[in-house]
């Protein structure tokens, strides 16, 4: 447990968006480190936090005394030589170039699971709890330029009833565990940032389109800190570049005064004309860049701090039981992804992110609350670049009343929630924030939690829906309560569902029971769309894969005629490691559409076929193709799609045409003409590709 003395400090230090600023990065701390397990928790008393007595910092720290060479990001839990749970240490040396006058240094970690204590050159620099969110520490008092410096990190992945994730009050075995693995390590990149005393900590971009006029209002809020000892005057400017990299506007500078130790927000804003606006869409995810600069001093003493972030121009609304993206109703399938791999653990190498996210996108699984803890920057960047809609969730999994009333738990959750929101608020793929999954939302404590945490999130970012994910028991209790009274007399404002902008039940029930839950939710809150955040069947709890396919098809049959259901998200994309009761004896829970090595199962292939938003209805022998946008589920408007005719014998493209618009429920006739051929070859494939190149419909002969 972190001492209360440290909590306030950490809230300030961790309110940062971890961005790589090439002109300010002093040391990239990814790469080689030394590692040692510490099962007896004796590392600090043995002096592992301090420079070795025989090392003077003139050369890099050598390997010695049993320290193992590893590469950060690193996860010790996948190495069979080390225990799964407890403390371990990382350390490495690095050198700093000669700095400009008054340079300050910040040590940034993208994630360390779960508790980290950090020393620099033997001096304690700070600590952090929360294994999935970025944090930063002031390294300036401890670093020595132009020589080797030693950083040591004690990492602890154990848990208790006051950690998140952790155990819960109760006497059942499952109360002492949580259902995903506690992969320990420095699991994401780290770096030393050099910056002037007055510097940009973060920026928030609000890009609000006027859909009728085609214009947009862009507001950039720069978060500027003065870590120096003197009062300073700073000038804040911002530059916006379009998706092609062309500069389109320089925002008017703003001047601010900062006292020593003060952090202030400076806001600059502008309007973009219709010809400057390209909306971020699922089929065409256009990304802009905002570059903020903060300048202090003048002439030879001038210092500049900069910060880059990407953003999209798009609107998200919930209205009349619909989820609207840029004013268009969207109904999409999805699947939850557990951050787990037998070789990588909880690290997120680019190749794994690409593989997993491409599996989702290729099967038309584009809307999900992905996991029960904050997503990595790599996952969010991929979703931004390729077009997916995600709800990001902090670590409230299954909280009972005692947890939700516990002051320490509430403070820790709010800190992790703030870190997640402030590091993710510029990602257009994030369309909502979740304040928890499967907690006891039907209790008075659950109602208070939902209301309090929604207000807390809105105080940080009011631009997105705020939701919670409901346990099936919450739906059953709701149904019972309504049956005891009536829909008219039911006190809606005394239910946690009333405060969720999108209703997000987990539905592990028969399709008939699921239909009853959905109908009651809609009757009580007809203005709110419903996202089924989880459903599914485990492979080891059915006769065969055909039973899972039949369950999926039955759930699809429930969802398709109910236009107020905006999403249907499967649990889960992948099998995952667990020690939770009921786990398979091989250590994995086989919920996946793919196995641990990402080999697709038959259910994945069934989804890929059933969930295509465009249906190839017919192709005649001259190459005339009739397409139809699926009218029920999934349902999305596609612009600038391409229809491609390919020979299966040789693989050659025979013809390709662009289709300006494919509306849900509408048919489109495309004459491919087969480049003048008299008739089609014996075997061929017709593919419909969206503007980004993903296949959204396919037919073959």
Instruction: Report yes or no: 430 and 390 within 8 Å, Cβ to Cβ.
Output: yes
Half-sphere CA count of 81, side-chain side, radius 13 A: 8
Structural domain total, the chain: 4
Read off the tokens for 262: 């003060």
Q: Name the domain boundary from 166, 195, 224.
A: 195
- Residue 25 pLDDT exceeds 80: no
Which of 14-23, 138-147, 477-486 is the least confident region?
A: 14-23
In terms of Cα–Cα distance, which of 9, 30, 217 is closest to 108?
30
State residue 675's pLDDT score: 54
What is the mean predicted confidence (pLDDT) over 108-133? 98
Q: Are residues 446 and 383 in the same domain?
A: yes
Q: Are residues 601 and 657 in the same domain?
A: no
State residue 457's pLDDT score: 98
Which of 60-69, 171-180, 258-267 is the least confident region?
A: 60-69
Distances (CA, A) of 536 to 442, 587, 593, 598: 23, 20, 10, 18
Instruction: Report yes or no: 152 and 67 within 8 Å, Cβ to Cβ.
Output: no
Q: Name the domain boundary from 293, 311, 329.
A: 311
State residue 654's pLDDT score: 87
Separation of alpha carbons 107 and 664, rounded Å: 50
Burial of 111 (0-12, 13-18, 19+ CB in 10 A): buried
State residue 508's pLDDT score: 98
Separation of alpha carbons 259 and 197, rounded Å: 11
Q: Are residues 183 and 91 in the same domain?
A: yes
- Residue 422 pLDDT exceeds 50: yes
pLDDT band at 8 (very low <50, low <70, confident <90, very high): very low
Q: Report the interhelical angle of 4-13 vs 407-424 (nearest 10°).
A: 10
Q: Are residues 537 and 621 in the same domain?
A: no
Instruction: Report yes or no: 572 and 338 within 8 Å, Cβ to Cβ.
Output: yes
Give tens-digit pLDDT for 664-675. Answer: 999 999 998 755
Q: Which CATH number covers residue 476? A: 3.20.20.80
Q: What are the helix (H) ranges across 465-536?
A: 472-484, 511-524
Q: Are residues 383 and 418 in the same domain?
A: yes
Instruction: Report yes or no: 616 and 697 within 8 Å, Cβ to Cβ.
Output: yes
Handedness of CA 442, 443, 449, 451 (dihedral sign): positive
In terms of Cα–Cα distance, which of 30, 23, 46, 134 is closest to 425?
134
Read off the tokens for 550: 């039949």
Show the beta-strand stretches assigned E in 84-147.
87-95, 104-109, 115-120, 123-129, 135-138
Q: Are residues 291 and 423 in the same domain?
A: no
DSSP classification of residue 156: E
- Residue 655 pLDDT exceeds 70: yes
Q: Are residues 165 and 254 in the same domain?
A: no
Q: Which CATH number covers residue 116? A: 2.60.120.260
The mean predicted confidence, pLDDT, of the chain is: 93
- Residue 276 pLDDT exceeds 70: yes
- Residue 372 pLDDT exceeds 70: yes
Q: Which CATH number covers residue 662? A: 2.60.40.1260
Which of 298-302, 380-384, 558-562 is the least confident region?
A: 298-302
DSSP classification of residue 301: G
What is the mean predicted confidence (pLDDT) over 233-262? 94
Q: Are residues 444 and 475 in the same domain?
A: yes
Q: Are residues 267 and 392 in the same domain?
A: no
- Residue 658 pLDDT exceeds 90: yes
Instruction: Show Cβ contacts of residue 498 under 8 Å, excluding neighbours closer than 6 positions.
Output: 492, 525
Q: How does 171-195 read in b/e, with b if 16+ C-beta sit within 10 Å?
A: eeeeebbbbbbbbbbbbbbbbbbbb
pLDDT band at 63 (very low <50, low <70, confident <90, very high): confident
> Which residues are paired to 648 by β-bridges?
none
- Residue 21 pLDDT exceeds 50: no
Q: Name the domain boundary from 311, 331, 348.
A: 311
Separation of alpha carbons 172 and 197, rounded Å: 52
Read off the tokens for 287: 């990304």
- Residue 560 pLDDT exceeds 70: yes
Q: Are residues 586 and 621 in the same domain?
A: no
- Residue 619 pLDDT exceeds 60: yes
Instruction: Report yes or no: 382 and 366 within 8 Å, Cβ to Cβ.
Output: no
Give residue 559's domain range: 316-610
- Residue 19 pLDDT exceeds 60: no
Q: Are residues 565 and 662 in the same domain?
A: no
pLDDT band at 14 (very low <50, low <70, confident <90, very high): very low
* Better pLDDT: 345 or 53: 345
pLDDT band at 17 (very low <50, low <70, confident <90, very high): very low
Read off the tokens for 518: 């959905």
Q: Report the interhelical angle of 407-424 vs 444-460 (nearest 10°).
A: 30
- Residue 373 pLDDT exceeds 50: yes
What is the mean predicted confidence (pLDDT) over 243-263? 93
pLDDT band at 135 (very low <50, low <70, confident <90, very high): very high
Q: What are the helix (H) ranges across 536-601?
A: 545-559
State residue 23's pLDDT score: 44
Count Cβ atoms below 10 Å from residue 71 Cβ, excluding itself. 11
Q: Which CATH number covers residue 298? A: 2.60.40.10
Q: What are the helix (H) ranges across 461-510?
A: 472-484
State residue 4's pLDDT score: 26
Burial of 100 (0-12, 13-18, 19+ CB in 10 A): exposed
State residue 333's pLDDT score: 98
Distances (CA, A) of 161 to 166, 233, 437: 6, 46, 17
State residue 11's pLDDT score: 24
pLDDT band at 3 (very low <50, low <70, confident <90, very high): very low
Q: Are residues 285 and 144 in the same domain?
A: no
Assign residue 327 a region (left: φ > 0; alpha: ψ between -120 and 50; beta: otherwise): left
Assign residue 403 a region (left: φ > 0; alpha: ψ between -120 and 50; beta: otherwise): alpha
Separation of alpha carbons 155 and 87, rounded Å: 6
State residue 70's pLDDT score: 97
State residue 600's pLDDT score: 98
């Amino acid at each position: 447990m972190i001492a209360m003395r440290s909590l306030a400090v950490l809230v300030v230090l961790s309110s940062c968006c971890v961005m790589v600023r090439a002109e300010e990065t002093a040391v990239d701390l990814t790469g080689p480190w030394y590692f040692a397990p510490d099962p007896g928790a004796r590392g600090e008393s043995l002096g592992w936090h301090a420079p070795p007595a025989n090392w003077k910092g003139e050369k890099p720290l050598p390997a010695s005394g049993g320290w193992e060479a590893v590469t950060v990001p690193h996860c010790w839990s996948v190495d069979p030589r080390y225990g799964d749970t407890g403390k371990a240490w990382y350390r490495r040396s690095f050198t700093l170039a000669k700095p400009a006058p008054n340079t300050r240094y910040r040590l940034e970690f993208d994630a360390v699971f779960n508790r980290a204590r950090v020393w620099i050159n033997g001096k304690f620099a700070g600590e952090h709890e929360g294994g999935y969110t970025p944090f930063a520490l002031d390294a300036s008092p401890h670093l020595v330029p132009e020589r080797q410096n030693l950083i040591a990190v004690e990492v602890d992945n154990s848990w208790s009833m006051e950690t998140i994730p952790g155990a819960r009050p109760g006497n059942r075995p499952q109360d002492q565990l949580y259902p995903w693995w506690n992969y320990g390590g420095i699991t994401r990149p780290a770096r030393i940032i050099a910056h002037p005393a007055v510097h940009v900590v973060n920026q928030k971009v609000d890009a609000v389109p006027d859909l009728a006029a085609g214009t947009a209002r862009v507001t950039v809020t720069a978060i500027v800190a003065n870590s120096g000892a003197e009062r300073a005057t700073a000038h804040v400017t911002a530059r916006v570049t379009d998706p092609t990299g062309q500069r389109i506007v320089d925002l008017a500078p703003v001047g601010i005064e900062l006292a020593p130790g003060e952090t202030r927000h400076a806001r600059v804003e502008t309007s973009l004309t219709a010809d400057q606006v390209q909306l971020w869409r699922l089929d065409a995810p256009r990304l802009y860049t905002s570059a903020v600069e903060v300048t202090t001093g003048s002439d030879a003493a001038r210092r500049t701090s900069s910060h880059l972030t990407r953003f999209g121009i798009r609107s998200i609304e919930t209205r009349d039981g619909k989820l609207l993206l840029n004013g268009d109703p969207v109904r999409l399938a999805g699947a939850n992804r557990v951050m787990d791999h037998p070789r990588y653990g909880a690290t997120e190498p680019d190749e794994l992110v690409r593989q997993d996210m491409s599996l989702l996108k290729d099967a038309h699984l584009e809307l999900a609350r992905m996991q029960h803890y904050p997503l990595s920057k790599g996952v969010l960047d991929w979703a931004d670049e390729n077009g997916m809609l995600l709800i990001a969730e902090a670590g409230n999994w299954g909280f009972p009343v005692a947890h939700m009333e516990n002051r320490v738990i509430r403070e820790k959750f709010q800190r992790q929630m703030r870190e997640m929101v402030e590091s993710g608020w510029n990602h257009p793929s994030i369309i909502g924030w979740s304040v928890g999954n499967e907690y006891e939302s039907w209790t008075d404590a659950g109602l208070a939690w939902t209301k309090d945490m929604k207000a807390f999130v809105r105080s940080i970012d009011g631009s997105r829906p705020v939701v919670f994910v409901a346990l099936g028991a919450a739906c059953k209790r709701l149904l019972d309560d309504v049956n005891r009274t009536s829909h008219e007399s039911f006190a809606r404002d005394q239910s946690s569902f009333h405060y969720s902008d999108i209703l997000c039940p987990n539905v592990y029930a028969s399709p008939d029971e699921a239909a009853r839950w959905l109908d009651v939710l809609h009757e009580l809150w007809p203005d709110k769309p419903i996202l089924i955040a989880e459903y599914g069947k485990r492979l080891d709890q059915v006769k065969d894969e055909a039973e899972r396919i039949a369950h999926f098809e039955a759930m699809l049959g429930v969802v398709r005629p109910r236009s107020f259901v905006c999403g249907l998200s499967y649990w889960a994309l992948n099998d995952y490691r667990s020690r939770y009761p009921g786990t398979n004896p091989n250590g994995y829970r086989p919920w996946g559409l793919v196995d641990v090595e990402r080999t697709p199962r038959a259910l994945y292939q069934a989804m890929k076929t059933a969930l295509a938003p465009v249906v190839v209805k017919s192709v005649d022998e001259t190459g005339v193709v009739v397409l139809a946008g699926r009218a029920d589920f999934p349902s999305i408007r596609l612009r600038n799609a391409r229809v491609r005719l390919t020979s299966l014998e040789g693989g050659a493209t025979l013809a390709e045409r662009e289709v300006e618009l494919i509306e849900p429920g509408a048919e489109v006739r495309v004459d491919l003409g087969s480049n003048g051929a008299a008739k089609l070859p014996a075997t061929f494939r017709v593919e419909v590709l969206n503007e980004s190149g993903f296949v959204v419909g396919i037919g073959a002969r």
